[in-house]
Structure 1
Amino acid sequence: MSLKKSIVLIIIILLIDQISKVYIKTHFQLQQSFEVFSWFQIYFIENDGMAWGTKISDFVSFIDDRTAKVALTLFRVVAIFGIGYWLFDVTKKHKPKVLIIAIALIFAGALGNIIDSVFYGVLFNDSYGQVATFLSETGGYDSLLHGKVVDMLYFPLIEVDLPSWLPFYGGKRFNFFEPVFNVADVAISTGFIMLIVFNKKAFPKAEIEV
């Protein structure tokens, strides 16, 4: 698979990701939802940290949330350059197609979420109790590098009240699948799954000549 084809794939994923995020941001209030099916909802939330909303400051207590946010965003920017070089290298060396596709998916997903983190705080005003406006006259909801990632895909496949006799979680509401994510997250997860499932095809061992 050529570099040009992988770039086309990246552009397509980025367009789908960003169009969906901008649409949600400019048509939904925060935590507003729309039921598509009983097991699938469009549910607008914003993620200020890493996967599942985890923050660096949750692990390193002496770093405040804003400093941790900038550190995380800068780390993502550096990482995307590394992934980009990896993609360039494997296409140049004509590595297996499955490896190139997987890296392209991871790159596209990572870049999609970086765009949110870097620019969305400046491009949109906040979504609390209102639908956000693109390039509002009152300014954005935060500064550069402090944007929040827009998530909207929610699959509450199973929702049950756990029996009261169950230790620790008795009487609580159990929800599977609880995380809310976006198209970029899907691309990243798919890329990693491909690397795991098709590991032997992606990283074939060199034949040893006797």
Structure 2
Amino acid sequence: MGRLFRCESGLRWLWLAALVLILDQLTKYWVSISIPYGFQGIELTPFLNLVYVFNPGAAFSFLADESGWQRWLFTGFAIVIAIVLSVWLKRLPAKSRWLGIAIALIIGGALGNVIDRIHLGHVIDFIDFHLGGSHYPAFNLADSGICVGAVMLVLESIFNKKKES
């Protein structure tokens, strides 16, 4: 049993992917039962509201106005990405903390949105960020995990190149 928790690969970070997925689904469920769909929003700060909107597209509502084919395209794409990243995570040494966390965040976020697409046909978004009267597309915790993980991957590649030169 002790061996199970001493994983010698990057798979030791899968708990983080599961945490992102669970928190994403719990927050989406809470929003769906607490805020009326399309409601203008609950102001949390002068620049952040809670809303309840559907996004049939991808990040920043990309292809949201299409007829529905994008649901399966984005679902398939996210599943392939999650599989590829899981293989990368398995091959990653357990000591590669930064990279392991980045990959796990992306996997958890991708699968959180996949669940919505398969179950609902769209993704639930609820975080409305706005500045100076301009509202940016709403997003969710899964999107946040994907973005933070992607930024971490970029930073890793930048700093790794500096170390190698």
Report the TM-score range of the alignment, normalised by the length of the smaller protein.
0.7 to 0.9
After TM superposition, give the deviation of residue 102 of structure 1 in Å. 0.6
Flag the 1:202–1:106 CA change in 2: closer, same or farther, 3 A.
Answer: farther
Flag the 1:96–1:201 CA change in 2: closer, same or farther, 3 A.
Answer: farther
RMSD over aligned Cα atoms: 2.5
Indicate the structure with greater helix content. 2
Give the gaps of 5 or more residues in structure 1.
59-64, 122-146, 160-174
SS in 2 for 1:155: strand
Aligned 8 A contact 1:44 1:150 in 2: yes
Moved more, 42-51 or 94-103: 94-103
The separation in 2 between residues aligned to 1:25 and 1:57, in whole angstroms, is: 22
Q: Pick one of 10, 20, 30 that aligns with 1:13.
A: 20
- What is the identity, as a one-letter code, of the residue corresponding to 1:98? W
Aligned 8 A contact 1:195 1:202 in 2: no
After TM superposition, give the deviation of residue 21 of structure 1 in Å. 0.3
Deviations 1:111-165 (A, max 9, x none): 111111111x2xxxxxxxxxxxxxxxxxxxxxxxxx2101001121222xxxxxx
The separation in 1 between residues aligned to 2:139 and 2:108, in whole angstroms, is: 15
Flag the 1:9–1:202 CA change in 2: closer, same or farther, 3 A.
Answer: farther
The separation in 1 between residues aligned to 2:18 and 2:159, in whole angstroms, is: 25
The aligned runs of 1:36-115 (5 Å cut-off) are: 36-55=44-63, 65-90=67-92, 93-94=93-94, 96-115=96-115
The alignment's TM-score, normalised by the length of structure 2, stands at 0.82
Give the gaps of 5 or more residues in structure 2.
1-7
The structure with higher relative contact order (CA 8 Å, sep 6+) is 2
After TM superposition, give the deviation of residue 103 of structure 1 in Å. 0.5
Deviations 1:37-71 (A, max 9, x none): 2211001111101111112886xxxxxx2233223
Q: Pick one of 123, 130, 133 that aligns with 1:156.
A: 130
Aligned 8 A contact 1:14 1:108 in 2: yes
Q: Pick one of 149, 152, 155 that aligns with 1:194.
A: 152
Aligned 8 A contact 1:46 1:150 in 2: yes
Flag the 1:56–1:179 CA change in 2: closer, same or farther, 3 A.
Answer: closer
Corresponding residue number in structure 2 for 1:163: none
The separation in 2 between residues aligned to 1:76 and 1:204, in whole angstroms, is: 31
The alignment's TM-score, normalised by the length of structure 1, stands at 0.66
Corresponding residue number in structure 1 for 2:3: none
Matched, 1:118 2:126: no
How many residues are treated as equivalent by the alignment? 157
After TM superposition, give the deviation of residue 7 of structure 1 in Å. 1.7
The separation in 1 between residues aligned to 2:48 and 2:59, in whole angstroms, is: 20
SS in 1 for 2:108: helix
The separation in 1 between residues aligned to 2:64 and 2:56, in whole angstroms, is: 10
Corresponding residue number in structure 2 for 1:185: 143
After TM superposition, give the deviation of residue 4 of structure 1 in Å. 5.5
